[in-house]
Amino acid sequence: MTIPKVYMAGVGGMLGEAFYNVFKENYNLKCSDKDPRDTWQSKLDFRDLDAYRSEVRAFEPDFLFHIGAHTDLEFCERNPDEAYSTNTLAVENAVHIANELDIPLLYISTAGIFDGNKEQYDDWDVPSPLCHYGRSKYAGEIFVKENCKRHLVCRAGWMMGGGPRKDKKFVQKLMYQLKSGAQQLNVVNDKLGTPTYTIDFARNTRLILEKGYWGVYNVVCDGVTGRFEVAQEVVKLLGLESKIQVNEVESSFFASEYFAARPASERLICQKLQLRDAYIMRDWRVCLKEYMEESYHSYL
């Protein structure tokens, strides 16, 4: 039996590593990133259409996964041209290549494309992004939906995964503070969302892909929550409840550091996957516990 071939572009971060680990045993992979950090990655800047096209064509894949993006909201606000060239124009490159080769395209979108005026969003709610990051990602999503022959768009929530080496998100930021000796954590109480464990996300994406359920899907862990509750759970899992105080603050407390507009709620509901009986994401608490045990057992 022929092993399916997947070209994965932009795999240098936490999500790319999860996709590599989930797909490597049953797929023939070619993985690239503009700043390769592992031996299984080659160098490619997917913003260069000619180089991107040449690399993918040479591999002759059955699927193209476009994974990388600028996800730092403040960076995107400061550098909008970089945000749109990476998060939008590069996605257009991927669409052109996938159509030329007549292969399906996977694009990773985000809960950050919504405005937060609703408490939660299903797969059919209409996005309305608040900042350059959300706008650049949504523009990419629109181009994929309108122009790619066969596409799978998976919207992620608050990412966790990758461990100290690759995690640049909320959990790692908490762990950095704790390792630095913090006795108190100031955490916003006015930001709601849905954690998304990278491993579960990659596994559920693989299931959707193998079933051929093309289209747009919310793909997040089960259970909705907020930043404050996630921080409390981290401290609890570390057994530090009696030593670390978690303080509730409003977003204005971090206004100078995190100045990009963020929706009050990024809670996603995976209604389409549930209706198709293809939802295998676990509860966020279960995933956080597994992640902490695997990546941070000796971190403190």
Mind giving me the DSSP string for the chain? -PPPEEEEES-SSHHHHHHHHHHTTTSEEEEEESS--STTEEE--TT-HHHHHHHHHHH--SEEEE------HHHHHH-HHHHHIIIIIHHHHHHHHHHHHT--EEEEEEGGGS-S-SS-B-TTSPP---SHHHHHHHHHHHHHHHH-SSEEEEEE-EEE-SHHHH--SHHHHHHHHHHTT-SEEEEESS-EE-EEEHHHHHHHHHHHHHHT--EEEE---BS-EEHHHHHHHHHHHTT-TTT-EEEEE-GGGGTTTS-S---SB--B--HHHHHTT---PPBHHHHHHHHHHHHSTT--
> CB of 138 within 8 A of CB of 115?
no
| Residue 246 β-bridge partners | 185
Is residue 300's pLDDT more than 60?
A: no
Is residue 132's pLDDT more than 70?
A: yes
Is residue 222's pLDDT more than 90?
A: yes
Predicted local distance difference test score (pLDDT) of residue 297: 73
In this predicted model, what pLDDT tens digit does every residue of 246-269 receive, in sequence order? 888 877 777 777 778 888 899 999
- Once rounded to an integer, what is the mean pLDDT over residues 146-170? 90
Find tokens 């990546």 and name the residue. 295
In this predicted model, what pLDDT tens digit does every residue of 47-60 receive, in sequence order? 999 999 999 999 99
Confidence of residue 299 (pLDDT cuts 50, 70, 90): low
Mean pLDDT over each residue of the chain, to the nearest integer: 92
Alpha carbons 3 and 206: distance in angstroms, whole number: 15
Predicted local distance difference test score (pLDDT) of residue 250: 79
Lowest-confidence pick of 123-127, 211-215, 230-234: 230-234
In this predicted model, what pLDDT tens digit does every residue of 175-197 receive, in sequence order? 888 888 888 889 888 888 999 99
- On the CB side of 270, CA atoms within 13 Å amount to 30
Predicted local distance difference test score (pLDDT) of residue 243: 87
What domains are defined for the chain? 5-166+195-223+267-282 (3.40.50.720)
